[in-house]
Structure 1
């Protein structure tokens, strides 16, 4: 759920901070006070498209923050781990910042993310529905996903099994399609593959250790003079003809040996100097051997440079390492063999393709049968919801496409249909014209789907437009039902909806020194009664409207 919302310099909002609670919260106020602006800000926080036009006039940037209670969804936790975002088990902070310079920054728990990542994470937290934005419900392409959300674990297993087989089928199909390219393309491909195979074979590649050894050898040859000078200087210092170090140490060792019996300290010095003396003798021998074995071979240096350049060119073309180049070589060798022996491979692929297709259709039909059972249950539940919304004569249908077409998620597309009145044929839900019917249909579905979805906050922006009377009360009851499963924030003009809410915020705007400011107040008691009365009566509040408002609030409590 959304716990805290902070908005700064957004449209006519200067600074705004609201604390929300669980259950159903309504936001009401005069037209133009900024109710929908608050929802726009939340939409931006959820990854909506940003624009410098959102920034309050005269300011450099707008900042919106939302503190949410972390849902129990393991999906969201996995998603945040995938993007390297740290999180606490109880809270998650979303932030969006737009500047007049065009800078657009999104953060999740302080970590900068792309807007697409913000949108992906926010989808687990916020679901915004406006009066003309029924999104998934009004988009036939989304109906199959909605139906599957109403399914059970068995449906999930059937979908996974179908999708696995679909991937196998598509893989075989792509192989077959590659072989069925026209002859000219095949000839061009053979020429390219032959050249690449020849180039890689001609390089006689070893392994990645070869390059490391060549680089080391090149460094030794390229620095021959420096190395020789350094070794010679060291050797002369140890055993040179003029004042070599070892002779001097030998003299000192003899001197300390003559007095070592006088003190344990001298004995220790003798031992340490003696060990160092013999170690330095070994060093001198090793250095002398190194000098004797050193040779400078310019031809070998050139040969190494040529080899390293060849490896560099091959890595630039075929892979970042020798092993990757070898893997690529195996891949194109197989492809060349397939193209060169196309007819033989096509026969094998035809057998594999047919087997995969038969398996896919079998699983697709099994999946359709399961979905039809789930669709029947969904139709029944939607009917019950519609009755409570005074659409008892309407009939809801889940229509399956008759023609079987292979899709990633099944063989049959699905679309929601409705017959609003007795005697009328079902029509696609997306083509229903009545705003009131759209509102009630959307609420009926939300009442069902929110029980299966893990979204923690649902926002309704004037979705109750176009209804009144007993239908308005039914919609109020249904919105409150949705709030039993998810936190609901609702902008409304219906007094019935305002009265049934658990929390009520009043939004107003005023003008100070020729600047407009929006303020939000939580209202209770008499103030809330007055606001419900205003929604009933309009500008002038009467004793009758106050009495009606009190009655509505009392009924809502019951």
Structure 2
């Protein structure tokens, strides 16, 4: 969830820091006080398009920073962090966005500089902003198939994973078939290149790990004098009269002479004897190895020449001799494939046919599972819409497929289904795609019903509603308030509202106000106490003068909301 939000020099905001908690946080205030500006700031923090117009007049830059704490099950975001090398510790993510007066945009995630596109990738797992003027994922028909799969993820995920693996295998085979069967000129050129590479590598007569062995031998010859001197010095220090080994022998003999009289001496005499024999063996090894050393300047030149030859091949085929030999194996395999192209094309055709049939069967099973999920989703949506006084509305999941048989059906990454959510809000009207629903009030309720069902599946930590209750009142307003509160049971919700019914449901109520100081307008954010909340609700009810009746009504609203939350917590 969004835990802390800091905004500096952004529009009419001078410097504001806001702490958020779990549950439902309501932001209210007079029109123009800066409520939507705060949401704009959060939108930019999640990768939205910036503008120099956001930079407060007379300042050099606008800065927005948000601290998010993650649930342990937000695996998609953690996977995204691994992909882009962002370090996440203690389940905390800090998004930072700076927009300069010159129009530059600087983005950071946990202190790491990132592109706007990467910031947006993170933002989609952290924040979902829903407003009447924002194109949302729920309105985007391309996302409907993903939402349906999420709705019954437990039943669908395994089949979908198996289909995805088969589809990727199929596309790889089809790509290879196309490469082999098309453009004879390119294939001939490729054949010539591979033949040249094969001959060049084979002509070098490489041996596995040859480069490592040669580099070690070169190091030995290049430092022959130092190595020989070190061995001689060590040997001379240990062997000979009045040298190390002779003194060790003297010490060993001294202990051996008295070992029968003292258990400690006996123990140490045994240790001393072992060490002496080890050192004696070491001295012999030093002498033997020294006698094998020979300096050959001609051999050093041979090694340098061979390493230069290998270095030339490394620049073209791999960073080590083993990599070059592995590449040679790939070249030989591709050469064999091209040389016997017709045989391989026949083989690929069979592999494609078999894989496609397997993929089709998985896609068919996926389609059947989605049909069941669609029926359950439709029933749930109708229930939600009824709660929002759209009991005459009709919702359906439209399956547009060309499914005929395993060979003719067009497969894509999600199977052969093309899915759209459709709705009709009045009896007798045809079902239409969501974004074509005309009424703002109806669209708000439809979106809220969908959000209520999908909030727990989308895995977004913070859901933001920006005046989604515009155009509704009375019992519909109360129903929407209850639905927003239910969403907050699954995700943190920040809600800008002018409706007292929605504001009364808040777990935390923050008042946005603007003031003038030294001919400059600024915005403040204040968390309201219970008494202040009653006053603010009363203002929202009357819109003008605060009356005792309005305060009584506000108190009653809070009591009703509290009872509702206790019953549906």
TM-score by length of 2: 0.82
Residues 1:529 and 2:534 aligned together: yes
Residue number in structure 1 paired with 2:469 = 464
By how many angstroms is 1:475 displaced?
Answer: 2.0
The structure 2 residue matched to 1:455, chosen from 444, 454, 460, is 460
Native 8 Å contact 1:45 1:66 kept in 2? no
Deviation per residue, 1:447-499 (Å, 9 max, x gap)? 11124343332111122223334333332222122222222110112233223
* 1:138-537 mapped onto 2 (5 Å cutoff): 138-208=139-209, 210-223=210-223, 296-403=295-402, 404-537=409-542
Counterpart-to-counterpart distance in 1, 2:238 and 2:484: 93
By how many angstroms is 1:149 displaced?
Answer: 0.9
Give the SS at the match of 1:422. Answer: coil
Residue number in structure 2 paired with 1:85 = 87
Native 8 Å contact 1:224 1:296 kept in 2? yes
By how many angstroms is 1:289 displaced?
Answer: 7.6
Counterpart-to-counterpart distance in 2, 1:190 and 1:163: 33
By how many angstroms is 1:106 displaced?
Answer: 2.3
Native 8 Å contact 1:2 1:67 kept in 2? yes
Counterpart-to-counterpart distance in 2, 1:277 and 1:154: 73
Residue number in structure 1 paired with 2:2 = 2
Counterpart-to-counterpart distance in 2, 1:496 and 1:233: 93
Native 8 Å contact 1:397 1:417 kept in 2? yes
By how many angstroms is 1:231 displaced?
Answer: 7.5
Give the SS at the match of 1:136. Answer: coil
Structure 1 pair 113/410, CA: closer, same or farther in 2 (3 Å)? farther
Residue number in structure 2 paired with 1:132 = 133
Give the SS at the match of 1:138. Answer: coil
Native 8 Å contact 1:197 1:329 kept in 2? yes
Counterpart-to-counterpart distance in 1, 2:334 and 2:156: 38
Residue range with higher mean Cα deviation, 347-356 or 426-435? 426-435
Number of residue-to-residue matches in the alignment? 546
Deviation per residue, 1:341-399 (Å, 9 max, x gap)? 11111111111111111111121112111101110111111112112222222211111
By how many angstroms is 1:185 displaced?
Answer: 0.9
Counterpart-to-counterpart distance in 2, 1:316 and 1:190: 21
By how many angstroms is 1:295 displaced?
Answer: 5.1
Counterpart-to-counterpart distance in 2, 1:171 and 1:16: 53
Residues 1:106 and 2:108 aligned together: yes
Counterpart-to-counterpart distance in 1, 2:153 and 2:244: 90
Deviation per residue, 1:34-77 (Å, 9 max, x gap)? 21222233334434456666554435662523243635545556
Residue range with higher mean Cα deviation, 495-504 or 333-342? 495-504
Native 8 Å contact 2:173 2:348 kept in 1? yes
Native 8 Å contact 2:2 2:66 kept in 1? no
Structure 1 pair 303/551, CA: closer, same or farther in 2 (3 Å)? same
By how many angstroms is 1:294 displaced?
Answer: 5.7
Counterpart-to-counterpart distance in 1, 2:324 and 2:170: 28
By how many angstroms is 1:290 displaced?
Answer: 7.4
Residue number in structure 2 paired with 1:13 = 13
TM-score by length of 1: 0.83
By how many angstroms is 1:326 displaced?
Answer: 2.0
RMSD of equivalent CA atoms:
4.1
Structure 1 pair 539/190, CA: closer, same or farther in 2 (3 Å)? same
Native 8 Å contact 1:51 1:98 kept in 2? no
Residue number in structure 2 paired with 1:31 = 31
By how many angstroms is 1:197 displaced?
Answer: 1.0
Structure 1 pair 467/345, CA: closer, same or farther in 2 (3 Å)? same
Deviation per residue, 1:99-123 (Å, 9 max, x gap)? 7495735244xx6363566554554
Counterpart-to-counterpart distance in 2, 1:35 and 1:158: 45
Structure 1 pair 372/236, CA: closer, same or farther in 2 (3 Å)? closer
Structure 1 pair 396/248, CA: closer, same or farther in 2 (3 Å)? closer
Structure 1 pair 479/286, CA: closer, same or farther in 2 (3 Å)? closer
Counterpart-to-counterpart distance in 2, 1:527 and 1:284: 91
Residue range with higher mean Cα deviation, 225-234 or 325-334? 225-234
Give the SS at the match of 2:96. Answer: strand
Counterpart-to-counterpart distance in 1, 2:112 and 2:26: 32
Counterpart-to-counterpart distance in 1, 2:292 and 2:232: 13
Structure 1 pair 295/501, CA: closer, same or farther in 2 (3 Å)? closer
Counterpart-to-counterpart distance in 1, 2:528 and 2:281: 92
Counterpart-to-counterpart distance in 1, 2:524 and 2:276: 88
Structure 1 pair 348/543, CA: closer, same or farther in 2 (3 Å)? same
Residue number in structure 2 paired with 1:267 = none
Give the SS at the match of 1:320. Answer: coil
Structure 1 pair 298/150, CA: closer, same or farther in 2 (3 Å)? same
Counterpart-to-counterpart distance in 1, 2:290 and 2:505: 96
**Any gaps of 5 or more consecutive residues in structure 1?**
262-274
By how many angstroms is 1:331 displaced?
Answer: 1.5
Native 8 Å contact 1:4 1:20 kept in 2? yes
Structure 1 pair 515/290, CA: closer, same or farther in 2 (3 Å)? same
Give the SS at the match of 1:517. Answer: strand
